[in-house]
Amino acid sequence: MPREDGLVAGSDAMVARTTPDTRAEWPARGAPWTVLAAFARRKPLGAVGGLIVLALVLTALLAPLISPYDPRQIIREADNRVPVYVAPGAAYPMGTDHVGRDIVSRIIYGARISLYVGLGAVLIGVTGWFFVGMVSAYAGRTVDLVVQRVVDAMMAVPGLIIVLAIMAVLGSSLNNVIIAIVIGMTAPVVRTVRSQVLSVKEMEYVVAARAIGARSARVVLWHIMPNCLAIYLILATYYLGFAIILEASLSFLGVGVPPDVPSWGGMLTAAAQGHITKAPWAGIFPGLAIFIVVLGFNLLGDALRDVLEPKLRGARFGARLPR
């Protein structure tokens, strides 16, 4: 008997029999702390990356509570003297900058800027281009041809050049930085997702679902997308770090966020324009913050890639995959 959703009776059972059961690859369900402990034992570097990311999130959320000064405040001491380029010490653990602002406070608030840009670029860009890549690969023919020619054209131009051109048109602001990064990541995200979907849509369970008359939307949402979520998580962790680096690069070049915003890239610009040999701490600490945060995202992304896509682990080290 045909059902209301257009599938014949028993079709779900047929697709279920042909869908690979990946539950055996995952540990038994338990408390979240048990799962996290198992992940830490299996991927200690990934756990370190996760702790760095957690520290970044907590720093961004608790910035008003843990910051000793306002990041825009020019400090005036008891004798009305402005502490310009004061070396790190008890009063100022990371020193002060060229106008007498506390570097610790600016780095703490800079975590908010980096997290905002990273999450905004990932939630808008990776999510949006993920669906574009899926639709392009599944639809094929004219749709795939048009999308991939646009992707080819964008890949012919360096991503930083595209982002700089967009910022030149839109102007310097935090939201414009996110828009530029989202457009700049179009080509690699769409191309990566498309390659994954092209292999998934030829699997037996997808072919079976299409053979029994399942609608395209049902096949994409219920059979293809769940088997591509691993690549989505890998892209998300990678582009979180990439967006932070790109925001710092734009701010360093003077086309990112406005100068008064406490951005790590802007702090590097101020240090480079000032006397870097006279006050090296003004550039060392923002650069170190960028390095640690991006390293944390990369470590976490590598661990998630190995856990969620075991085949990539062997391919990365050059091992031959079983035929």
> pLDDT-derived band of residue 311, with 50, 70 and 90 as boundaries?
low
Q: What is the pLDDT of residue 51?
A: 92
> pLDDT-derived band of residue 309, with 50, 70 and 90 as boundaries?
low
Q: What is the pLDDT of residue 74?
A: 85
Per the CATH hierarchy, to which homologous superfamily does domain 43-75+83-314 belong?
MetI-like (1.10.3720.10)
pLDDT tops 80 at residue 6: no
d(CA 175, CA 192): 26
For the chain, what is the mean pLDDT? 80
- Is the pTM higher than 0.85? The answer reads no
- Report domain extents, the chain: 43-75+83-314
Over the stretch 180-223, which tens digit does the pLDDT of each residue have? 999 988 888 999 899 888 888 888 888 888 888 878 788 888 88
Q: What is the pLDDT of residue 19?
A: 46
Q: How far is CA 217 from CA 56, 109, 317, in A?
A: 38, 43, 37
**pLDDT (average), residues 298-305:** 85
Contact 223, 240 (CB under 8 A): no
Q: What is the pLDDT of residue 38?
A: 81
Q: How far is CA 180 from CA 148, 159, 174, 249, in A?
A: 20, 10, 10, 13
d(CA 277, CA 254): 21
Q: What is the pLDDT of residue 274?
A: 66
Q: What is the pLDDT of residue 26?
A: 45
> Can you read off the two tokens belonging to residue 59?
């720093």
> pLDDT-derived band of residue 108, with 50, 70 and 90 as boundaries?
very high
Burial grade of 129 (CB within 10 A; 0-12, 13-18, 19 or more): buried
**pLDDT (average), residues 253-280:** 80
Q: Which residues are CB-contacts of 197 (< 8 A; sequence separation ≥ 6)?
A: 133, 134, 137, 138, 224, 228
Does 70 or 277 have the greater pLDDT score?
Answer: 70
**pLDDT (average), residues 286-294:** 91
> pLDDT-derived band of residue 172, with 50, 70 and 90 as boundaries?
confident
Q: What is the pLDDT of residue 314?
A: 42
Does 254 or 154 have the greater pLDDT score?
Answer: 154
Over the stretch 14-70, which tens digit does the pLDDT of each residue have? 444 444 444 434 444 556 778 778 888 888 888 999 999 999 999 999 999 999 888
> Can you read off the two tokens belonging to residue 316?
């990365």
d(CA 279, CA 96): 9
Q: Cα dihedral angle (162, 165, 171, 174), rounded to 10 degrees?
A: 20
> Can you read off the two tokens belonging to residue 139?
């639809």
The proportion of the chain whose per-residue pLDDT surpasses 90, expressed as a percent, equals 16
d(CA 298, CA 292): 10
d(CA 126, CA 243): 11
